[in-house]
Structure 1
Amino acid sequence: MRFLALLCAAALIITLFAGCGSSSAFETKPEETKTSQTAEPAETEAEPEYEVTLNVAHVQSDGDNVAQAYALALKEACKKYGIKIEIFPGAQLGDSAALVEGVQMGTIDINITGTADYGKLYAPLGVLDLAYIWKDYDQMAGVLNGEVGTELAKGLLDAAGVRILAYSVSFGYRCVGTVGEKNAFTNLDEAKALNLKIRTIESDVYINTMQAMGLNPTPMGFGEVYTSLQTHVIDGYEHDCNTSLANAFDEVIDHYMLTKHMCGPMGLFMSEISFQKLTEEQQKNLLAAAAEASAAHTAMAPEKEAVSLAEMESSGVDIVEVDVDSFAKAVNEFNIKYCEEKGWTDVYNKIVG
């Protein structure tokens, strides 16, 4: 009987352990099922099969800015065509000059930047950066996507082997930001009296425009601007408010004068070497995707500009209204003379009407 009792007890213990094991195994099943169910949406959201991969580089950060927004719009538009876009922001592949050179050489597929950077390769592009020629975004888009934009794109391709896949616009008009409590101005005469050293692009058009506006142009790489403002190496810079915020210039400037002198066009600049490596169908699809991305990007501009300006003001920057006409009159005189010297008068007249 004692042996039988022991045997029954052992059987009971084995049964209990078996029950625990069964219970444990059963409890893991919902987790497995949950994991399996969680994994299913990932399969539906999986990346499409890509036929080709292109690198896209720019010098701005990977935050909320005009270049990164353009890159993301292109990446999204390219997906359905089987074209993978790998984005390299923040000058990872080089500064502006290096990216332009890389596109020419074919080591960089696509560079997102303003047309001013490629004016060094094809001077007539400079006409697009003349001050006070753009009334609004609609006029700019019409010109860029029309006869003028097409002719300039062909000229750059023939001269430098760089293809403009599509144009877009900046997220706001370029204005002047300054450091120093007393370095604000409201008209041309006040600007002249201050003789402020203003960072600008190393471009003939930009340098001459700043001079016409009574400012002292100081060409400088974009990556040097923040520190130069902070240390007062320069008195200010000129750029749109979205780019200013994206690069934290609002942390160091005191005033932002709404001169609204330029609204430099943006572009998707592609190496012709890279373009010709694509099949005819891939070329067609890439151009279609570029057009879609540019339309979406251009549509963002008005709201981006308004929101960015409000954010800049809320961060403590003094937003200064200026007598735009006083600057426009001085600059227009320069524009006419400059275009005559360069042989751009016909193109200039087509833009300003």
Structure 2
Amino acid sequence: MKFVDEAYIDISAGDGGAGCVSFRHEKYKEFGGPNGGDGGRGGHVFAVADVNLNTLVDYRFARRYDAKRGEHGMGSDMFGAAGDDITLKMPVGTIITDAETGEVLFELLTPGEVITIAKGGDGGFGNLRFKSAINRAPRQKTPGWPGEKRSLKLELKVLADVGLFGLPNAGKSTLITAVSNARPRIADYPFTTLHPNLGVVRVGPEQSFVVADLPGLIEGASEGAGLGHLFLRHLQRTRLLLHVVDAAPFDDSIDPVAQAKGIIAELKKYDEGLFKKPRWLVLNKLDMVPVEEREALVKDFVKRLKYKGPVFEISALNREGCEPLIKAVYKHIRAEHDAEQVHVEVDPRFMP
């Protein structure tokens, strides 16, 4: 299935049905009084967060969604039926924005969460509503209220705890395959990954986290070069970024330190908040470096990069160094999660 993380749709809730003007007409009851019922409510438009979806591709081809209008009121005190609601299934992590104003209206962050994105109009009043002691034969009625109509932009930001980024062919897909249940396409040429891949990393019983592998970044990505800039938004909800670097490029003329600096600069150009997220350095493909040379290579790399955070030396191909990495990642994510827990203070008056 094609990965689509942006779409535009037009939605329209149902209009309310009109009220009815009617009077009782029965034998021997010449003045039976008003009995016109109200119109029915128009159908609502709901959105639900569906864990089984990971793309907005359905909304790329079908862009118009209209709920049914309510039925009109009728005589004999009969109210009109409400219009049928419609429910739009969207991936968890979808942001719903007003396409005209750019205002963020809703975010679907919890699996199964249901929100009302357009309310149906209320039904109009029939003449039964206007009966009073001084108005015994009312002929007033009101039309139904219109339903809400909106033009929306849907934007998907995947919900992952950890995001992998780096140059094409740095070994990100191999790494996510080695540590998680994801099985992305892997090949020996750049830009093998064309869309984000999510994987669940199992650290232990009831201990896991979600990692996202994005298409490789290149210099100029913030201005639109390559593919990675199209998916950088998916890193914005992560708690931790892992900068995967090919520490042993085949071409001796390539300086991996200069490349790493360039990618970090692109991250900063794209989003200052993304640049300030916790970011760890993962030096990959160290199986290509002789054991006696690894320590010196890593020290030189870190010194020239002027990097002061955690450094992990791995070989994703044979899983060397992956176990300490995932344990450290889980510990960091768990600590951040615990720190975010809100402790509600209970008013002593309501204590048992």
Structure with more contact order per residue of length (Cα contacts < 8 Å, sep ≥ 6): 1
TM over 0.5, shorter chain: no
Q: Which has the higher helix share?
A: 1
* Superposition TM-score, scaled by structure 1 size: 0.24
Q: Which has the higher strand share?
A: 2
* Superposition TM-score, scaled by structure 2 size: 0.24
